[in-house]
Amino acid sequence: MAEEKKDKDPKSLYHWDDDSGEVEEEVKTPKKKSKKVARREAKEKAKRRKKEKIKELQKTRITKKGKIWIAIGSSLLAVIVVLALMFFYFGIGFDLTKKLVVFDGMKVTQKEVDVYIDFLESQNPGAMPPKDDPQYEILETNIMDSIIVLKVLRKYGDENEISVTDAEVDEEISAVISNYPSEEDFEKDLADRDISRSFLREQISDQLLRDKIFKSITEDVKVSEEEAKEYYEENKETLFKIPEQKKVSHILIKFNVPEGETINDEVKKEAMQKIEDIEKKLNEGEDFAELAKEYSEDELSAENEGEIGFISEGQTVPEFEEAVFDLEVGEVSPIVETYYGYHIIKVLEEKDPYIESFDDVRETIEDYLTNEKQVNLWQDFVYSLLDDVEIEYKTDLKGNLLEDLSVPRGSTDQ
């Protein structure tokens, strides 16, 4: 029983040479063996053969397993190599980015949207809503729809031989650089704003393309004299009616508030002393214009003897406006307090309300109506391109283009 237990001991499977010395010694012994000894030796020999067989089986099993995995690995590698060559040769690529929308053989990925999100965040981090804010999803949606429109316009440009050259982009970038003291300052500003040259070039190129397509679509837009006159008659009592105006001059003594502090009694007392001294000079007969030029702390108007031009109701702070429209031409106000300081105001001239003539506003009307026509035509054009595109949103992030396309052009519900 002890021998049988020993045979079943798992550890013995790994002790291949435990009994080899004893067996060899017995093989070399020429003594006659008893039956008992012979049976024991036979048993030991059988046990050893069993161990050796197990050992060989283990070796064989490991070898076969290794060969199988090598074969599998080689096959997979071969398949990968073949596929890679096929994808390379036929121009097929793997897209590991998340598709948000597919349309007309094109797509918008999450990565593309994130590029614009990152750009906006780098320009004004404090203005970006957090990701769990509904406004963030609205921002993503607007960017996604804008990219769709941009790609549709690019395709239109390709199909109609409207393109932007590198030279045109270079010219635009040179114009931008000319606004800086040097190109080094320009490059530093790009770095500070975390804008790459390639991103800038792409945005300029896209803008130039839009401008070219816009021009090609809207260049024939015209506004007739009849249209301009009709618009004038419909709006002259509202848009072209000029209210009462008064030409004003003033003397200002500012509240001299130290940095980091607020207006206090001491600051006001100091300013009041100065304005009262000026008022005294006026009452003694000194010239308003000369006093404004010498003492007013509104440097811009002081250079013009205190004149700030014609104003109408709603153009200035209430306290100043009320004082102005209580005065007749030639009158001077008492001291007036506003947020800026203390004023003394004089009305130099006044104009009664009147309606501008058609000739005076014709150019303005024509520019406005032309722009309105162009915008409407452009909108109709873009939607006509989108009408021919089957847009399929692939995630929960749904754009507005499908909804907009369902609204007839010219509807007030757009």
Please report how many Cα atoms fall inside a 13 Å half-sphere around the Cα of residue 167, on the Cβ side.
Answer: 0
Q: For position 349, what pLDDT does the model report?
A: 96
CATH 3.40.50.10800 at 244-352, yes or no: no
Q: Residue 353: pLDDT band by 50, 70, 90 thresholds?
A: very high
For position 402, what pLDDT does the model report? 72
Is pLDDT of 13 > 70? Answer: no
Confidence of residue 409 (pLDDT cuts 50, 70, 90): low
Any idea where the domains of the chain sit in the sequence? 2-86, 244-352
Band the pLDDT of 52: cuts 50, 70, 90.
low
Q: What confidence tens digit (pLDDT) does each residue in 184-233 have? A: 999 999 998 888 999 999 999 999 999 999 999 999 999 999 999 999 99
What integer is the mean pLDDT of 321-347?
Answer: 96
**pTM metric for this prediction:** 0.60
Instruction: Please check the confidence at residue 410 and state whether its pLDDT lies above 60.
Output: no
Is the model's pLDDT at 404 over the cut of 80?
no
